[in-house]
């Protein structure tokens, strides 16, 4: 059996593959926030457990490969995956062997030492520059660890790397339960959403979200824009933004997006008031503007109370909501009010029966700041960039590699 997503690719599912007693190489996304060797958020690890346990129940030897951070093609203890092994061992309840490399003798030794029904976690793929070059020889070395390949790293699907793309040339493969869930939620929201459909797009830069905004305007009823990128949109409407973040070279692009929304009869909501400061520091004196204009010398750091009410009401009335990007500098508690309000509104919309989808690491962090559990949202995507590119309609290399002709 196969599954089809909107990119018209035919993809085998792990549960429809005959894997009993086999060695299975699984690409996971364990690019988790870590400080001093302590995992700060294990969401991405826990999200892979359904697939990992399914394989363990089939008496497979499970060989996990992942990346962490940007070690720039060489071994760097700052980016070791070693702390993940004992954490995963507790979660999975089976022995986890850690390999000090992902290819070569040390990796082969660790894989050989593991028994069926156990896990091997390979060291950071990006310790080798070949990984990001989609090098086939490197991919062949990874493939040598097993007889079958499972793609479970949704957050890496938009990268044509050895462990996501080239490896599929050397092993038969399928997508795991997490990737299936990601595709099903995103596909349903973008192809046949229950309306009204509201998208909240935030974050610092317009340049990161241009393509997804163009795509969303063809699908949604309302698009809400917040965060640093909102000031470029306000500038496009000749609104004074003071010293707020501005991408001057994207003002014309923002104007085109506004015009497309107008022509498509899609409601576009921009901040109607703002929390502003003279300088960005935690103890800065704050003021709230009386309009969407920001005075000279002031910097917008969060949406204001009227905007908060406007955004929250729109979210709570929606039947489908997609959110990517905070609406203020949420890392600073004094500037986190708007983003927290959006997170709580998302949870309330879910309780009211809406399908709510959240994507992006920063957006997930807002949930934690707001005290909203991931279970209170219909679906929290583990891949911000991949989810955006999927919505844009781009072909994801990690899926294309596995597609059945």
* Strands laid side by side in the 222-225 sheet: 267-269, 222-225, 197-201, 320-324, 355-359, 379-380
Choices 3.40.710.10, 3.40.1280.10, 3.40.50.1260, 3.30.450.70: CATH for 186-392: 3.40.50.1260
Note the pLDDT tens digit of each residue in 67-126: 999 999 999 999 999 999 999 999 999 999 999 999 999 999 999 999 999 999 999 999
| Angle at which helices 177-191 and 384-392 cross, to 10° | 40
Instruction: Check for a shared fold between 2-177 and 186-392.
Output: yes
Q: How confident is the model at residue 8 (pLDDT cuts 50, 70, 90)?
A: low
Residues 43, 382 contacting (CB under 8 angstroms): yes
Q: How confident is the model at residue 63 (pLDDT cuts 50, 70, 90)?
A: very high
CA dihedral 163, 168, 174, 175 (to 10 degrees): 40
For tokens 């060797």, what's the residue? 37
Note the pLDDT tens digit of each residue in 367-402: 989 999 999 999 998 887 888 888 888 889 999 999
Q: How confident is the model at residue 4 (pLDDT cuts 50, 70, 90)?
A: very low
Note the pLDDT tens digit of each residue in 265-318: 999 999 999 999 999 999 999 999 999 999 999 999 999 999 999 999 999 999
Considering the domain delimited by 2-177, tell me its CATH architecture: 3-Layer(aba) Sandwich (3.40)
Greatest alpha-carbon pair distance for the chain in Å reads: 68
The per-residue pLDDT for 399 is 95
The per-residue pLDDT for 391 is 87
Active site residue ranges: 44, 205, 361, 385
Supply the DSSP symbol for 42.
-
**pTM to 2 decimals?**
0.88
Q: Which residue ranges make up each domain of the chain?
A: 2-177, 186-392
């Amino acid at each position: 059996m196969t599954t089809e997503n909107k990119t018209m690719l035919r993809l085998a599912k792990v549960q429809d593959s005959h894997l009993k007693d086999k060695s299975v190489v699984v690409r996971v996304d364990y690019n988790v926030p870590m400080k001093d060797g302590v995992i700060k958020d294990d969401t991405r690890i826990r999200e892979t457990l359904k697939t990992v346990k399914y394989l363990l129940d089939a008496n497979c030897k499970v060989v996990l490969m992942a990346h962490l951070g940007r070690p720039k093609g060489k071994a760097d203890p700052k980016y070791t995956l070693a702390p993940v092994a004992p954490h995963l061992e507790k979660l999975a309840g089976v022995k986890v062997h850690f390999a000090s490399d992902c290819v070569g003798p040390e990796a082969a030794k660790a894989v050989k030492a593991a028994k069926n029904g156990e896990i091997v976690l390979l060291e950071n793929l990006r310790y080798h520059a070949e990984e990001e070059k989609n090098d086939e020889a490197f991919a062949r070395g990874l493939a040598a660890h097993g007889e079958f390949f499972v793609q479970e790293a949704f957050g890496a699907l938009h990268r044509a790397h050895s462990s996501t793309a080239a490896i599929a040339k050397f092993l038969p493969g399928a997508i795991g339960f997490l990737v299936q869930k990601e595709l099903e939620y995103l596909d349903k929201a973008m192809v046949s959403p229950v309306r009204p459909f509201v998208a909240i797009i935030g974050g610092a830069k317009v340049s990161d979200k241009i393509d997804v905004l163009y795509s969303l305007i063809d699908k949604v009823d309302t698009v809400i824009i917040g965060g640093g990128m909102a000031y470029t949109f306000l500038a496009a409407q000749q609104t004074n933004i003071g010293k707020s973040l501005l991408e001057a070279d994207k003002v014309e692009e923002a104007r085109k997006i506004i015009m497309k929304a107008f022509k498509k009869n899609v409601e576009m909501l921009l901040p109607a008031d703002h929390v502003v400061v003279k300088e960005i520091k935690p103890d800065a004196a704050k003021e709230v503007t009386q309009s969407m204009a920001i005075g000279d010398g002031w910097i917008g750091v969060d949406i204001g109370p009227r905007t908060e009410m406007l955004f929250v009401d729109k979210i709570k009335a929606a039947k489908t909501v997609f959110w990517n990007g905070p609406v203020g500098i949420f890392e600073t508690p004094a500037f986190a009010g708007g983003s927290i309000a959006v997170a709580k509104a998302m949870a309330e919309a879910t309780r009211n029966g809406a399908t709510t989808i959240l994507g992006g690491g920063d957006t997930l962090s807002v949930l934690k700041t707001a005290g909203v559990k991931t279970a209170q949202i219909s679906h929290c995507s583990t891949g911000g960039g991949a989810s955006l590119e999927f919505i844009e309609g781009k072909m994801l290399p990690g899926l294309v590699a596995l597609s059945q002709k």
